[in-house]
């Protein structure tokens, strides 16, 4: 019980500090730390990530940081495509799921280290691959200009996030945060808050889908979930005091270590 609570607090802290990455730590914590299978760990990880993210999202809504229309669109597409991921998760061998998760962690670590190496300093804006970002804020209203290009971009992001969430039990923040930074001109605080809202909504759909196929959460799972909420609250309070550069390098290094452990176990 103590170990589950410890891992839950760590996952919540990372989620609160970054708006991403907490979910990708939750599954390895349950698989490697508590000896669960991937199919056992995925719904508990989703429940924990979703609950913790909801706390952060409510805080973001209170401060007017959440782009809630964008969050709802991404979550809607995520809800539609999440069952696809759940379907394959219950039909793929455990070894394949663990190797997929390891590959995903390596990709996340590579993106963080690459971004760290190429960016000269902190910035609230990403750089798109074309002249104008797909989703731009209206200078007068401060809201998104809902063009067809913007709508299609956010819908596609939601679909991909939903499939990955259902398949591997992750919230999807590691996809949402860099995508928002790359494709929109929303400031980083708004990106994190919006990501947390999407994660909470998509995770809720994934948990409901898991319950429908007979998955149940035991006492260890409940301890992990409660601890993750506590970690989220602490992470949100600490976020303004932790250097982003150190956090990126530390998290990327941790991802690589865990990915190696998952691959060896598989």
Confidence check: pLDDT of 124 > 80 = no
Q: Residue 15: which of 58, 61, 43, 50 has the closest Cα?
A: 50
pLDDT attached to residue 127: 43
Phi-psi region of 21 (alpha: psi -120 to 50; beta: other; left: phi over 0): left
Q: Residue 44: which of 55, 33, 30, 58 has the closest Cα?
A: 30
Task: Give CA–CA dist 104/110, Å, rounded.
Answer: 10
Which ranges in 29-93 belong to alpha helices (H)?
Answer: 34, 38-62, 68-89
Confidence check: pLDDT of 125 > 60 = no
Choose the most confident range, by mean pLDDT, from 39-53, 60-74, 120-134.
Answer: 60-74
Confidence check: pLDDT of 130 > 60 = no
Choose the most confident range, by mean pLDDT, from 154-158, 195-199, 236-240, 249-253.
Answer: 154-158
Q: Residue 47: which of 2, 12, 91 has the closest Cα?
A: 12
Q: Evaluate if pTM is beyond 0.75.
A: no
Mean local confidence (pLDDT), 140-166: 87
Q: How confident is the model at residue 56 (pLDDT cuts 50, 70, 90)?
A: confident
Q: How confident is the model at residue 34 (pLDDT cuts 50, 70, 90)?
A: confident
Q: Is residue 199 within 8 Å of residue 54, measured between CB atoms?
A: no
Domain spans of the chain? 2-116+133-265
Q: What percent of the chain has pLDDT over 70?
A: 89
Interval 62-112: pLDDT, tens: 888 889 899 999 999 988 898 888 888 888 888 898 898 888 888 878 877
Show Cβ contacts of residue 254 under 8 Å, excluding neighbours closer than 6 positions: 25
């Amino acid at each position: 019980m103590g170990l589950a609570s410890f891992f839950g607090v760590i996952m919540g802290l990372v989620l609160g500090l970054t708006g991403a990455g907490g979910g990708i730590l939750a599954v390895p914590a349950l698989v490697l730390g508590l000896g669960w299978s991937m199919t056992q760990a995925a719904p508990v990880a989703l429940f924990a990530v979703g609950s913790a993210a909801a706390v952060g999202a409510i805080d973001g809504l209170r401060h007017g940081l959440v782009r809630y229309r964008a969050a709802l669109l991404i979550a809607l597409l995520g809800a539609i495509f999440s069952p696809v991921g759940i379907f394959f998760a219950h039909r793929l061998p455990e070894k394949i799921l663990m190797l997929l998760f390891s590959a995903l962690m390596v990709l996340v670590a590579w993106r963080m280290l690459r971004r760290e190496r190429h960016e000269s300093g902190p910035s609230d804006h990403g750089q798109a691959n074309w002249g104008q970002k797909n989703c731009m804020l209206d200078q007068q209203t401060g809201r998104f200009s809902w063009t067809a290009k913007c709508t299609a971009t956010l819908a596609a992001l939601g679909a991909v996030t939903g499939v990955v969430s259902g398949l591997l039990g992750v919230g999807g923040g590691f996809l949402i945060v860099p995508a928002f930074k790359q494709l929109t001109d929303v400031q980083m605080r708004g990106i994190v808050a919006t990501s947390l809202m999407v994660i909470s909504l998509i995770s809720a759909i994934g948990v409901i889908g898991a319950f429908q196929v007979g998955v149940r959460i035991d006492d260890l799972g409940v301890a992990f979930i409660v601890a993750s909420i506590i970690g989220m609250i602490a992470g949100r309070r600490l976020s303004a005091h932790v250097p982003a550069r150190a956090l990126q390098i530390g998290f990327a290094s941790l991802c690589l270590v865990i990915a190696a452990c998952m691959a060896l176990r598989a």
